[in-house]
Chain A
């Protein structure tokens, strides 16, 4: 058995993978068969007829396997009388195609001519013009002059909203069904469909809400014409004026590779700005997709409220100061603190920043001290289990299917990490056995083979039962996602250990496409763990705050009800905050340092799959803010006289020398690119859409202990005592909503503001009845001493005595970060006196 077969293209014999689609196979050996409806990520439908080729079969000698030859010594081929669509053909051994004969050329010319019979000639105003498959293929195949009458073109709606993010131009649509198939096949949410037929065929949506999925922007990438455009970028720039700068999405732990399309902008004073964010192909991370949060969530980088100057508290007020003043003050306070210094870093802080921050803290302590380096948010923990049995190096969800079991515990992936959701869902479609263990229904349940309903606190018991399940025990591969919903820090650490135990006891650790993934909260939470930061430290720092506390991108006040008054007692205490915006935390600080956004600087972040990835400077930085690593290095210089590094690359080099896991992961190594399939980019955007070719590096996954052959034995932790709730008590469980009101996102995408829900609490129908609440009521939720008003949603599927509260929707009255007991009461509507 060989895994390649012989394919004869225009008389030349090629070896191509067995079972490949004919279009893909030809593409791999360098023959571009033009397509409109076919897309390598979607099932073929053969609708556009652009891929017509002459198809034949060479005679094969049964004994030798060699081609039977004709009298000229060439393989004897039996040609089919008619042209066939390549996209609906799977290659077989000895298959032969002709792609350049007059018959084929004429067929392609005619198809283009037909498509243009009703396609408007508005390329000059079309956003796709310049990167348009139809435009390119018309240049290559069109007859040049149409035999059809211009007057008979259809005039249809040019600006039809499919939702408030995506606009449809009905004239431009060539009815390839890529968008409808993307929604149906890949996202599993068929809100787009064809209506009518023949020439009157149109894309419609009658769903409520209309086209409003987390992945809607991707349809504009794969649309082979300019029929679908995003409200965000319409007429923003012409594609040939844009420069694609490789970057990494800062919003979640997936670490999607993106490309920031940049251009000079008059409104920004002639500076280079990011005009749009596009996916950048990385087949092992995000393939060619990104979610709408990543696509539209970049505007915060030039929001008018960005901090541009350091602020120092004087007489109770924060007043602008110079960098020299601010840094000198910080250095002085650190020196005076006599080692009582701690730092907490949030999810968007790069590895370089984390490293330099660690130097500040370690220097203050006079040696290594990891008890003062905290990760924020701190509800997730157990990173040591990832270091031991994390998802194996070389794993790829794109290759998972039959034989693989994917377990998702205590996490709603569609909200926490949409691209993981998409890839897990598609692995399940390919035959992977998906098991979800959640206390409430999640989006992923629709695709799960088994849905195990657990109670909050019953996670370990459920895990134990998993080890016995044949789908886990006997599966070829097992991947476990561990989220933190309904768990506190210690609970999450235990659950991680439990998951690690499942993997080791069933013998799955250390093999490719196996392992543990923590669904962290931030884009670089994994990096923080790797560099010695921990959630345990955060907890102790917040319990007993040190004399000098440095908070980088950690909005501890607005995001956690428990910390609202933490920074207010400032006698003898000194707080430094590094932020992009004047957050609630920054407002209580003694010194505020303006940070740079991810597009204004370079650096590396480590994704939830432990992939260290580089991002590059895309946009002209604002005057004022500096990269954190430079700021922290300067503080160190002021205190110890150490020479600051000259570049982020140099900092990373030091990390690679000091941190064992990061050995060898220099910028040069992270920037390396291999050929990927499907081959997007190049000069044929018709094939894969307008996702950018990866030129900025695929990143490198650091190996776990199990990868290196040291599979630890992990014991299953004991089932803890279930939380006992008195009758009438409610357990407040924070959940994650993708579109929230954290400043870095809220300031990003005014377009998405209507998609951010009002603060809400979800109650079980029984509880709602007892509390005399119905859907839509306003209620006051009090937990951890903080009260806030929420809209009530009633859902029978929520466990009893539980109130689900989405985090970061109401930053004025924060929700708790970890589950805690609270109460809820109805807001009595007082009749107003007129």
Chain B
């Protein structure tokens, strides 16, 4: 699947590295883009492309938090509540965010728009509370700014669905 659909991109990625094994992570990004998450099939495909064991690919996908190993909502909110963030109120912010969306840690909203989970340090301690939405940072958040963002995303999701 991947090999045919993204042949050119994959070839470009392989060209960058001395051996095939090194291309695992860029290829996982390609797979994530194609499937929306790193499915077991995606792992097998990437393993076949890199000519290594699927277990190794699975291990790498599992190590990095930027790979989704389960299907997620359209907006994937990762809130850091490590110690420095927690000192700036991230814990409370996180709980309020969950309450606002009416879900628990790691869950996806019923409409499939938001997935919220807490993660380890995202290296923006000075601007906490902060979160990462689909790999974009949103910093110095308050519940007010957050609510505005959520409504904006919700509207965007609806609009996208309407098309």
Contact = CB atoms under 8 A, between A and B. Distances in A.
Is chain B in direct contact with chain A in the complex (CB below 8 A)?
Answer: yes
Given A190-B55, A191-B53, A192-B55, A206 B43 contact: yes
Interface stretch (B58-66, B130-138, B144-152): B58-66
Nearest to B62: A195
B16 to A, nearest CB: 23
B68 to A, nearest CB: 13
Given A206-B40, A206-B43, A195 B59 contact: yes
Interface string A487-518: 00000000000000000000000000000000
Contact of A196 (B40, B43, B53, B63): B63
B53 A189 contact: yes
B52 A193 contact: no
A195 B38 CA distance: 14
Contacts of A198: 120
Contacts of A195: 58-59, 62-63
Interface residues of A, number: 15
Contacts of A205: 55
Contacts, number: 39
A193 B120 contact: no
Nearest to B64: A197
Contacts of A208: 54
A204 interface: yes
A190 B56 contact: yes
A189 B120 CA distance: 32
B53 A190 contact: yes
Interface in B16-57: 40, 43, 52-57
B52 A204 contact: no
B62 A204 contact: yes
Interface string A405-437: 000000000000000000000000000000000
B59 A207 contact: no
A194 B63 contact: yes
B20 to A, nearest CB: 15
Nearest to A208: B54
B19 to A, nearest CB: 15
Given A194-B63, A197-B63, A206 B58 contact: yes
A198 B63 CA distance: 9
Nearest to B61: A195
Interface string A164-196: 000000000000000000000000011111111
Contacts of B62: 194-197, 204
B53 A194 contact: no
A207 B59 CA distance: 11
Residue with the greatest number of chain A CB neighbours at <10 A, chosen from B52, B54, B120? B54
Interface in B40-98: 40, 43, 52-59, 62-63
Nearest to A184: B56
A194 B62 CA distance: 8
A196 B65 CA distance: 8
B53 A204 contact: no
Given A194-B63, A195-B59, A196-B63, A207 B120 contact: no
Given A194-B63, A196-B62, A196-B63, A206 B55 contact: yes
Contacts of A192: 55
Nearest to A196: B62
B59 A204 contact: yes
B55 A204 contact: yes
Nearest to B52: A190
Nearest to A205: B55
Contacts of A191: 53, 55
Contacts of B56: 190, 193
A194 B59 contact: yes
Contacts of A193: 55-56, 58-59
Interface string B114-141: 0000001000000000000000000000
Interface string A185-223: 000011111111110000011111000000000000000
A206 B120 contact: no
A207 B62 CA distance: 15
Given A189-B53, A191-B53, A204 B58 contact: yes
A719 B93 CA distance: 82
A189 B54 CA distance: 11
A215 to B, nearest CB: 15
A191 B55 CA distance: 6
A198 B120 CA distance: 10
Nearest to A193: B59
A206 B54 contact: yes
Nearest to B65: A197
Contacts of B55: 190-193, 204-207
Contacts of A194: 59, 62-63
Interface string A149-170: 0000000000000000000000
Residue with the greatest number of chain A CB neighbours at <10 A, chosen from B43, B55, B63? B55
Contacts of B52: 190
Residue with the greatest number of chain B CB neighbours at <10 A, chosen from A189, A192, A205, A206? A206
A208 B54 CA distance: 8
A763 to B, nearest CB: 24
A207 B58 CA distance: 9
A205 B54 CA distance: 8
B24 to A, nearest CB: 12
A205 B57 CA distance: 10
B43 to A, nearest CB: 6
A196 B62 CA distance: 4
A193 B63 CA distance: 11
A192 B120 CA distance: 25
A154 B119 CA distance: 19
A672 to B, nearest CB: 43
Contacts of B120: 198
A364 B161 CA distance: 95
Residue with the greatest number of chain B CB neighbours at <10 A, chosen from A192, A204, A207? A207
Contacts of A207: 53-55
Nearest to A190: B53
Contacts of B58: 193, 195, 204, 206
B92 to A, nearest CB: 22
A581 to B, nearest CB: 39
A679 B62 CA distance: 37
A592 B58 CA distance: 55
A195 B59 CA distance: 5
A797 to B, nearest CB: 16
Contacts of B43: 206
A194 B56 CA distance: 8
A207 B57 CA distance: 10
20 contacts: A189-B53, A190-B52, A190-B53, A190-B55, A191-B53, A191-B55, A192-B55, A193-B55, A193-B58, A194-B59, A195-B59, A195-B63, A197-B63, A204-B58, A204-B59, A204-B62, A206-B40, A206-B55, A207-B53, A207-B55
The 7 closest A-B pairs by CB, nearest first: A193-B59, A195-B62, A206-B58, A193-B55, A206-B54, A196-B62, A207-B55
Given A190-B56, A195-B58, A204-B58, 4 more contacts: A193-B59, A194-B63, A196-B62, A206-B55
